[in-house]
A and B are shown apart, each in its own frame.
Chain A
Amino acid sequence: SQTIHQWPATLVQPVGSPLSLECTVEGTSNPNLYWYRQAAGRGLQLLFYSVGIGQISSEVPQNLSASRPQDRQFILSSKKLLLSDSGFYLCAWWTLANYGYTFGSGTRLTVV
């Protein structure tokens, strides 16, 4: 079966600390992968997407970066977190056969 895993579920980090959020998919190969951020009470903002290993496209200039070291692994990182990085982060993948996006369960990040 096709599944997506995202962790951690909740994270509280101090300003200036590093960040690493991980997303992995199972049951598919060469998926298009996405990182979205959702501020409280708002819609989803696309941060990064990847169509293959090592291929990352950034949609919004920011304090974050993304990497795809393996076909089914997508990582969101930051060297130094800002208060404005707080939010709910969702990983998603798309395949044409799936005819839709499947989302991970999300990570609630609070920067203090």
Chain B
Amino acid sequence: AQTVTQSQPEMSVQEAETVTLSCTYDTSESDYYLFWYKQPPSRQMILVIRQEAYKQQNATENRFSVNFQKAAKSFSLKISDSQLGDAAMYFCAYRSAYLDYGGSQGNLIFGKGTKLSVKP
């Protein structure tokens, strides 16, 4: 079974600085998707960034970028120029790329989250 581990329960960053959140995962599959979700106090789950495992190039979305190391099974999130609105829980998640008909392998598996605080 696949697992996702976020080893940093809490992180803090100064406004305008850069912070990196860590995520590691365990899988025997070769094709999968990885995600970072943001959950602000409203608890709405918001997709921050996604990475397809077959792509070697790291995904970027504005101030958010990932460092995807497939061999090491590592998927960290870098937030540049941190803003107060970035304060939230961040979840790393894994999903198999294989069709999930009749099985649970297509379900999204979450880490336990990292709470990010941004200091003004």
Which of B22-30, B74-82, B104-112 lies at the interface? B104-112
On whether the beta carbons of A99 and B33 are closer than 8 Å, the reply is yes
Most buried by B among A32, A49, A101: A101
- Tell me if B's interface is mostly helix, strand, loop or mixed: loop
Q: Count contacts on B: residues with CB < 8 A to the other chain.
A: 24
In the complex, which residues of chain A have a beta carbon less than 8 angstroms from the beta carbon of B106? 32, 94
In the complex, which residues of chain B have a beta carbon less than 8 angstroms from the beta carbon of A32? 100, 106
- Interface of chain A: mostly helix, strand, loop or mixed: strand
Interfacial chain B residues near A34, Cβ < 8 Å = 107-108
Interface residues of B (CB under 8 A from A): 33, 35, 42-47, 50, 52, 91, 93, 95, 100-102, 104, 106-108, 110-113
> Which 3 A/B pairs are nearest by Cβ-Cβ distance?
A103-B45, A43-B110, A43-B112
